[in-house]
C-alpha cells in the first residue's frame, strides 16, 4: 500500500476539558498519514487518480476550526471519519499536537484506523 504524509498542518480549535479552554481557539499541529493504492496515478499522472493534498488539508483545517471537543482523541476520530467519508483512503493516521496544553511539554495523540475498524465503532 502507498502512503501520503501531510505534516505540521497548522490549525486551531476550541478544545479541552477545562472551562477556560472553551473561551477561545487553541493552536493545533496535525500530521496525517494516508494509505491508498496509487497504481492508477503511476500510469495516468492525473490528480483524479491520486490524493489531493490541498483539498484534504483544507477539509481538515475547516473541520477543526468548526469543532468543539473536550478530547484530542475525539477530534482525531472525527478527522478520520471526515477523511474516509470524502477521500479514497483505506487507512488514516492522525497525530494531533496541542502545544499549549502543558507547561514545558507538548501534549499529543496518535490515532489510526482502517475503514473496516471505523465501521466497527
Q: Per residue in 9-40, pLDDT tens? A: 999 999 999 999 999 999 999 999 999 999 99
60-98 per-position pLDDT tens digit: 999 999 999 999 999 999 999 999 999 999 999 999 999
Q: 63-83: buried (b, 16+ CB within 10 Å) or exposed (e) per residue?
A: bbeebebeebeebbbbbbebb
Give the model's pLDDT for residue 90. 95
Domains in the chain, number: 1
Give CA–CA dist 11/45, Å, rounded: 30
Residue 9 cell numbers, joined: 498542518
Selection from 26, 27, 31 nearest residue 8 by Cα: 31
Domain of residue 47: give its range.
2-120
Catalytic residue among 28, 60, 98, 113, which?
98
98 part of the active site: yes
Amino acid at each position: 500500500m502507498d502512503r501520503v504524509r501531510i505534516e505540521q498542518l497548522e490549525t486551531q480549535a476550541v478544545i479541552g476539558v477545562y472551562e477556560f479552554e472553551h473561551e477561545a481557539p487553541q493552536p493545533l499541529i496535525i500530521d496525517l498519514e494516508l494509505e491508498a493504492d496509487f497504481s492508477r496515478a503511476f500510469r495516468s499522472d492525473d490528480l483524479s487518480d491520486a490524493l489531493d493534498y490541498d483539498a484534504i488539508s483544507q477539509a481538515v483545517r475547516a473541520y477543526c476550526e468548526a469543532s468543539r471537543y473536550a478530547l484530542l482523541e475525539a477530534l482525531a476520530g472525527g478527522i478520520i471519519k471526515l477523511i474516509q467519508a470524502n477521500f479514497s483512503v483505506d487507512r488514516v493516521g492522525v497525530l494531533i499536537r496541542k502545544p499549549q496544553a502543558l507547561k514545558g511539554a507538548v501534549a499529543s495523540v496518535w490515532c489510526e484506523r482502517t475503514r473496516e475498524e471505523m465501521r466497527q465503532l
